[in-house]
Amino acid sequence: MKTKNPRRDFLKLSLATTAGLAATTIPDSFGSSLKRTSYELDYSTMPSNPTSSIRFSVIGLNHGHIYSQVSAIIRGGGKLVAFYAKEQDLANAFAKQYPDAKIAKGEKEILEDDSIQLIVSASIPDERAPLGIQAMKHGKDFMVDKPGITTLEQLAEVRKVQKETRRIYSIMYSERLENKATIKAGELVKAGAIGNVIQTIGLGPHRMNIKSRPGWFFDKSKFGGILCDIASHQFDQFLFFTGSTQAEVVVSQVGNVHYPQYPKFEDFGDATVRGNGGTGYLRVDWFTPDGLNTWGDGRLTILGTEGFIEIRKNVDLGGREGGSHLFLVDHKETRYIDCSNELLPYGEQLVNDIVNRTDTAMRQDHCFLATELALNAQKQAQKLNFNK
């Protein structure tokens, strides 16, 4: 279904939006029984308010995720007015991408600019929470790359300041918020396509690319550990798809099983978690082989009482091009759903939340609980020590 302005119409889309189904059979490498299904959103439930706009700035460019973070806010109605980074090479590269943004002389210049409503950051992970605290104390909202917080002590202070200031502290869990198939899965689950969700299984493999990694990447005190860092995506998805508002880590383990030259690094971790809405298992690692044409074969399986959904986030080993592949199996059939034309609402929802002081892009308690689970899993993890 098309609208005159689909981006604007998507402004306040909640995942409770009802989906309609229109299936057509097409040839597929899995056989003639597999159907490709197009799910059209019911735009009649969406508000027609104009897109909001904000002024935002960036502090900290230490991870490449900053570019997708900035793009999300610009898509959502934000205007990038200034940025600052201590590292000249990172600043130069960013300035080439965003030549109209002012290069600030320091963090203070941005923090004390009352016209700026949001600060976006992908600084070194252990520096993110202190920056977010300063942003909130200066009356600004904060959107940060994962991991947004690296210790339980930081989490306690962030929660305290957020409660006092009522500012937004949003962590961009991009494996859900910036993946079109995962957005579609949220709509399908809310529409009841697989019944009640019982469990999620999230796999987050990554490629090392040792030569391109900065020194802090190999220091656990800087990035918080593998479960704190990349597994934060999987904890976020577990909470979201099971609808859990309370959860605990059942068991977790981490290890550095292949890179002894980096003793402060972790290359493997997994965990089992239990919530008041379902259970979850997750595994993350740094073992994507060079033969794969992307940085990692990220997957998510959502098990429901009436079916299941599997998402291949970045690649389909079956041969389809691109990413954001979704497979849905129910009591009637198996379908492949092309999600390439889905809209990504997070940036626009966050801009709207900043203007209207609402809580639609990501509930604050959800954001903090996903981080708390990651930190607890990291803290209590048993250490792997293979004798090979």
Secondary structure of residue 204 in the 3-state scheme: strand
Could you tell me the pLDDT band of residue 9, with boundaries at 50, 70 and 90?
very low
> Strand order in 102-103's β-sheet?
102-103, 78-84, 54-59, 118-121, 141-145, 169-172
- Whole-number Å distance between alpha carbons of 227 and 234: 9
Per the CB < 8 A criterion, the answer to whether 215 and 191 are in contact is: no
Averaged pLDDT, 34-47:
32
Per the CB < 8 A criterion, the answer to whether 226 and 266 are in contact is: yes
307-312 and 325-330 as β-strands: parallel, antiparallel, unpaired? antiparallel
Using the predicted structure, report yes or no on whether residue 31 has a pLDDT greater than 90: no
Averaged pLDDT, 105-134:
98
Query: What is the predicted pLDDT for the residue at 51?
Result: 62
Could you tell me the pLDDT band of residue 61, with boundaries at 50, 70 and 90?
very high
Average pLDDT of every residue of the chain = 88
Query: What is the predicted pLDDT for the residue at 22?
Result: 33
Averaged pLDDT, 64-83:
95
**DSSP track, 132-174:** HHHHHHTT-EEEEESPS--SHHHHHHHHHHHHHH---EEEE-H
Averaged pLDDT, 217-233:
97
Query: What is the predicted pLDDT for the residue at 317?
Result: 87
Using the predicted structure, report yes or no on whether residue 48 has a pLDDT greater than 50: no
Query: What is the predicted pLDDT for the residue at 316?
Result: 87
| DSSP one-letter code for 373 | H
Using the predicted structure, report yes or no on whether residue 45 has a pLDDT greater than 80: no
- Whole-number Å distance between alpha carbons of 140 and 137: 7
Which residue in the block uniquely carries the two structure tokens 């889905």?
A: 342
The pLDDT tens digits of the residues spanning 350-382 come to 999 999 999 999 999 999 999 999 999 999 999
**DSSP track, 291-341:** TSSSS---EEEEEETTEEEEEESS--TTS--SS-EEEEEESS-EEEEE-TT
Q: What are the φ and ψ backbone dihedral angles of 271, each rounded to 5 degrees? A: -160, 155
Helix axes 232-242, 180-190, angle to 10 degrees: 20
**Domain annotation for the chain: domains and CATH numbers:** 8-49+174-388 (3.30.360.10), 54-172 (3.40.50.720)
- The residue type found at 195 is G
% of the chain surpassing 70 pLDDT: 87
The pLDDT tens digits of the residues spanning 234-275 come to 999 999 999 999 999 999 999 999 999 999 999 999 999 999
- Whole-number Å distance between alpha carbons of 259 and 263: 7
- Nearest-Å Rg of the Cα atoms of the chain is 21
Which residue in the block uniquely carries the two structure tokens 């966050």?
A: 350
Using the predicted structure, report yes or no on whether residue 102 has a pLDDT greater than 90: yes
- Whole-number Å distance between alpha carbons of 79 and 101: 9
- The residue type found at 122 is A
